Structure 1
Amino acid sequence: MIFDLDDTLLDRENAVNQMFLMILEKCYQDVDHSTKNKMLQKFKEYDKRAYGYGDKTNVLESLFDEFPPKHRLPSNDIQDFWNNNFPHCFSINPDTLKIVNTLKTQVKVAIITNGLTLRQKAKIINTNLNSCFDIILISEEVGFSKPDRRIFELALKKLNVQPEETLFIGDDLEKDIGGCQSVSIKGLWFNPRMVKNDTTIKPDAEINSFERILDFLPNLNC
C-alpha cells in the first residue's frame, strides 16, 4: 500500500489552523473574535492558492496587506518562518498510526508526497511516521512529482512489487488517483469531507474514514 501524506496520513487543514494561531500570536495583538474568523478564512484562501508551491511568502504578505499586523515579518524572513514552524503544526491521529502499523505487518507500505524535502521530512519525523514505512519518496528529492507516472514507477521498483498487487491511497483525484492509475495501480480515494467528484477520473474505490483501508487488505497479494 502506498499513501499520500498531506490530507491523507496527516490532517493539513488542522495544521493550517495551528499555523494561523502562531502567526496571530507573533504578529497581532487584541484581535476580536469576528475579525479573527475573517482573518482565518482569508489565510486559508491564500494558503490554498499557494498549495503545491514551495515559496509561501505571498500567503503571509497577502494576510498582512489585508489585515495590517502590529509586528510585520520582513518579506525575506517569511519563508524561513514557514519552513521552521509549519511542520511542527502537524500531529498524527493515534488511530492512523495504529492502522499503518497493522498494515505493515502484512504488506509493504510506502509514502509518495509532493513538496520540499526540508518541510516534508520534518512533518514525517515530527509525527514519527519515518519509522513506519518501507520507503518514502518526496518529489523534490527524486526529481518528479505526482501525477508524473515516473514517481509511481520508482516506488514500484523500490518496493519490488507489481502494479496489480498495489493500492494507492490519496485525497487528490488528479495527482493521486489519476497519477497511480496511469501505471495500473488501483486508486483508493480518501474523501472524509465528502467532496463531490466533478472530474472525469474514476477512483477504483472511495472511503470517508481511514479505518476502511483495512477492508481492502485481503485483496492485496504483496
Structure 2
Amino acid sequence: MIQAVIFDLDRTLLDRDASVEHFINHQYDRYKLSLESVSKEVFTSRFIELDQGGYRPKDQVYQQLMVELDLEKRLEEKLYKDYNDSFQRYCTPFQGLHEVLLQLRSSKLRLGMITNGYGRFQMDNIQALGIQPFFETILISEWEGVKKPDPMIFKRAMERMNLRSDACVYVGDHLEKDVRAAEDIGMTAIWKKGRQDEKSFVRYSIYHLKELPTLIKKLNKEERPCYLK
C-alpha cells in the first residue's frame, strides 16, 4: 500500500525551463545599460544553452558568457549574485501543482521531497512556489552532504518518514538520478516526462502532474513486491 509520494523539484514541480527563460529576460532588462553591446536575444539564448538544463554551475555559465560576448569582467560577479538573489522571484510551477498536492494530501498520502542543489537557493525556490507546508520532509543535497543518485539520500528520506521502500512512490524527471535510483532501492518510480523526452522503457510515466492522483490509485490496486526498509 502506497503511503507516501516523494518528489524531485526541478522539472517535476518547478517548471525550470519557463522559470529560467523568465528570469534571464528580466535580468537583461535590469542590466541593459551594461549589456547594450549585446542584443537581448543573443544574451538570453546563449545563457540558456550554457546552462545545460541547470546541470552546469552558474558561476561557470556567467564566466564563459563574459568571455564569449566580450563583456566586462566586473559584470560576472554582479550577474551571478543577481541570479542567486533573484531567481526565486521568477519561479513558475507546472500547471495544477497546488491542486495536485492538495488532492494527494486529501487522499491521506504523505509527501516528501529530495532535490539536488544548493540548500538556501533550492529552499528559496520551494518557498516561492508556496509548497513548503505540503511536505513533511525536504532533503536538499548540499545540506544532506549526499546527492542523487546515491541511495543514501533516498534511504534517509524513508528513515525520516519511518516508511519502507515499498510504501513510497518517487516522482522525478531524470531517468538515472530519479527513476533508476529510486527503483534500485525498491521504490516505485514515476517518470515525469518533458515534451522533448524520447521514448524509453519505463513502467510508469506521466506528462502532466494532474495524471498523478489517478496513477497512484491504480498502483494501490496492483500487487507489488515488498522490500525491506
Gap regions ≥5 residues in structure 1: none
d(CA) in 1 for partners of 2:95, 2:195: 20
Of structures 1 and 2, the one with the larger relative CO (CA 8 A, separation 6+) is 2
Cα separation, 2, equivalents of 1:72 and 1:17: 23
Is this contact kept in 2: 1:15–1:90, CA < 8 A? Answer: yes
The code of the aligned residue for 1:86 comes to F
Secondary structure at the aligned position of 2:171 is classed as strand
> Is 1:215 aligned to residue 207 of structure 2?
no
Structure 1's 153 and 190: CA in aligned 2 closer, same or farther, altered over 3 A? same
Aligned length: 214
Q: What is the alpha-carbon distance in structure 2 between the residues aligned to residue 127 and residue 73 of structure 1?
A: 32
**Gapped regions of structure 2 (runs ≥ 5):** 222-229
* 1:170-209 matched pairs, under 5 angstroms: 170-197=172-199, 202-209=201-208
The aligned counterpart of 2:162 is 160
Secondary structure at the counterpart of residue 175 of structure 1: helix
Does residue 1:39 correspond to 2:43, yes or no? yes
Contact 2:141 2:148 in 1 (8 A): yes
Q: Percent identity?
A: 24
Looking at structure 2, the residues matched to 3 and 89 of structure 1 have their Cα atoms a distance apart, in angstroms, of: 21
TM-score (norm. length: structure 1): 0.86
CA contact (8 A) 1:83 1:118 kept: no
Deviations 1:13-58 (A, max 9, x none): 01110221122113335979xx533433211111117x345x4122
2:3 counterpart of 1:4: no
Alignment partner of 2:147 out of 141, 145, 148:
145
User: In 2, Cα distance between the equivalents of 1:26 and 1:64?
Assistant: 17
- Give the 3 Å change call, closer, same or farther, for CA 194–46 of structure 1 in structure 2: closer
The range that moved more, 182-191 or 20-29, is: 20-29
In the TM superposition, what whole-angstrom CA distance separates every residue of 1:166-191 from its partner, at most 9, and x where no partner exists?
Answer: 11111110110111111011110111
> How far is 1:79 from its partner?
3.4
TM-score calculated relative to the size of structure 2: 0.83
